[in-house]
Structure 1
Amino acid sequence: MTVRRIGGATIEKVEELCAAGFRPNRMFPKFDQQAFDVQKHWMVPTHVEAGSDRLVGSVHTWIVKTGRHTILIDTCLGNDKQRHNPGWNKLDTPFLNRLRACGCAPESVDFVMCTHLHVDHVGWNTKLENGRWVPTFPNAKYLFAKREYAHWETERGTQGEGKVNDGSFDDSVLPIVEAGKAVMIESDHQPDPLLTIKDYPGHTPGSIAINLKDDGRTATFSGDIMHHPIQVYHPDWSSQFCWDQDMSARSRRTLLEDCVESNALLCPAHFPGANAGYVKPEGNAFRLEWDEQR
């Protein structure tokens, strides 16, 4: 595991799972095979499975240490959770041991920040203890975007218990609220002097990115504003999982423009391999210069 430095702060990726998943024509409603093939030479095999064209995706969290605080950004899938996806159902991974190996014991975490509240971003918010879902990080405040939480709370009211985000709202979000650990935030909230938040709605109503800035350097944790690096080259390709396809595309382009302007290290939630990079303009779109540290 490699520690990246942003000024005096450090960031580290801790992976829960990595595997080939959807074929691109299923993932992206605006998929174009010819445009995809132009980029395939660098995507195979790390980002695209050889022979099948299935997209390779990682599920990971980011540990951010600022000197004042230890922050987790997104908490993956979690163990023991009942899910419809067979690859995500009733997991038993050593994720917490991987955190500890990075010097991040659960008790040391000050803030958990979720870029949005989809099932693969909230799972380790809670753990199963004596038949109950309890906060995994007992000393942390969990920061949820107010607009995001309100949306899924409304969905629960219309869909019913256990139906929202494959049950994750009930087993990974509500227990945090009931334990008094949740803080509903707006984009002007600043939990640490080095962190700022910006709204990029579309993938979900309240999707945010989190910026870490110190000593003239920036890292941007973008959650699912993009799922796969092909979207850097084709920002209009929103995923089938986006709440609003057009809004998601606009937010993605804005995020990429913001990364160019600030020369930010883009740190998405699902890029595998060399999972972060610097965004550069290219024609009417962008390209990535990979930061090869893994």
Structure 2
Amino acid sequence: MDEVPLPPETGPWLLPAATPEVVTSHGWLRPDFADDTGVLRLASHSFAISAAGLKVVVDTGIGNGKQRANPAWHDLRTGYLDRLTAAGFAPESVDLVVLTHLHTDHVGWNTRSVAGEWVPTFPNARYLTSRVERDFWAGYDMDEARRQMFRDSVHPVEEAGLLDLVDVPADGMDLVPGLRLLPTPGHTPGHLAVRLSSGDRAALITGDCVHHPVQLSRPEIGSCVDIDPARAEVTRRSLLNSLADTGTLVLGTHFPPPTAGRIVTTSTGLALAGWSRT
């Protein structure tokens, strides 16, 4: 579910090793995932899916009206909820919200402003994240910007009694048939990817263990906000190699439209192919 494209300066800040020289050396990235000068294209969106009779939203983007230090995220006014509703996922109808991790641009629509108060956007849903993730941030020395995010987008969900913390084994766990959580630590300690399956078809929502398709060809490129960069790289390499040439549809949480494709092995490394607009 599209929320908003991110400005061109996002790429150099987020993935500083993805220089124009690196990006332009991988021609398959253009024109969808980078421009001709090597500037990355990125976006914010989430995913709305049906699994075992449940309506599920994976990650909730940046949100509207939030006071944020990042100008690209500050006080947005988008039609995200209208688009979600038009797709058949009115907020009151959502049963489950899966949060891959507790970063600002993944929890924003957890809440919305009603009469000057931040209240859960999905009042009938259970919100779910890793216990490791929540425990890490509980002990983290946050700056004011992150404390503000927790105050407006996490604490109201907790105070409403809607947040569930789960212990995810190393090999993952099924929430319901067709919806599996996979631990993908590094970007944050409790980061999760989400695997979807139906019959012989499978898809995987990356969260932020992969921010941009350039990391398929260059998995050593990490994010400036990775909590544990070395572990993030190990996780990314392992995940990408496990998906290569399997036909699994990869859904990148920050991939710009088109947001999905299949990882294939080429003579110069991994690449995304057969992509489609979601």
Q: TM-score, normalised by structure 2?
A: 0.92
Residue 91 of structure 2 aligns with an amino acid whose one-letter code is P
Give the 3-state SS of the residue equivalent to 2:175 in structure 1: coil
Contact 1:152 1:169 in 2 (8 A): no
Q: Shift in Å at residue 149 of structure 1? A: 0.8
Residue 275 of structure 2 aligns with an amino acid whose one-letter code is D
Partner of 2:30: 44
| Match among 124, 134, 143 for residue 128 of structure 2 | 143
Residue 186 of structure 2 aligns with an amino acid whose one-letter code is G
Partner of 1:199: 183
Structure 1 residues 7-18: aligned runs within 5 Å: 14-18=1-5
Query: Structure 1: which 5+ runs fail to align?
Result: 1-13
Please report the RMSD computed on the Cα atoms of aligned residues, expressed in angstroms: 2.0
2:94 matches 1:116? no
C-alpha separation in 2, matches of 1:46 and 1:179: 41
Q: Shift in Å at residue 68 of structure 1? A: 1.1
Give the 3-state SS of the residue equivalent to 2:42 in structure 1: strand
Q: Shift in Å at residue 32 of structure 1? A: 5.5
2:249 matches 1:248? no
Partner of 2:159: 178
Residue 23 of structure 2 aligns with an amino acid whose one-letter code is F
C-alpha separation in 2, matches of 1:207 and 1:234: 21
Q: Shift in Å at residue 249 of structure 1? A: 0.7
Contact 1:235 1:253 in 2 (8 A): yes
Q: Shift in Å at residue 29 of structure 1? A: 4.6
Q: CA separation of 1:213/1:23 partners in 2, compared to 1, >3 Å: closer, same or farther?
A: closer
Contact 2:245 2:265 in 1 (8 A): no
Contact 2:24 2:36 in 1 (8 A): no
C-alpha separation in 2, matches of 1:146 and 1:202: 15
Contact 1:268 1:276 in 2 (8 A): yes
Number of equivalences:
275
Q: Which digits, 9 at most, give the CA deviation of each residue in 1:152-185, with x for residues without a partner?
A: 1112xx337x442x62122111111110000001
Q: Which digits, 9 at most, give the CA deviation of each residue in 1:93-150, with x for residues without a partner?
A: 1111000110111111110001111100000001111221111001100001111111
Partner of 1:4: none
| Match among 188, 212, 216 for residue 232 of structure 1 | 216
Greater mean deviation of Cα atoms: 273-282 or 226-235: 273-282
What percent identity do the matched residue pairs reach? 34
Contact 2:23 2:34 in 1 (8 A): no
Contact 2:7 2:72 in 1 (8 A): no
Q: Shift in Å at residue 80 of structure 1? A: 1.1
Contact 1:69 1:110 in 2 (8 A): yes
C-alpha separation in 2, matches of 1:248 and 1:78: 26
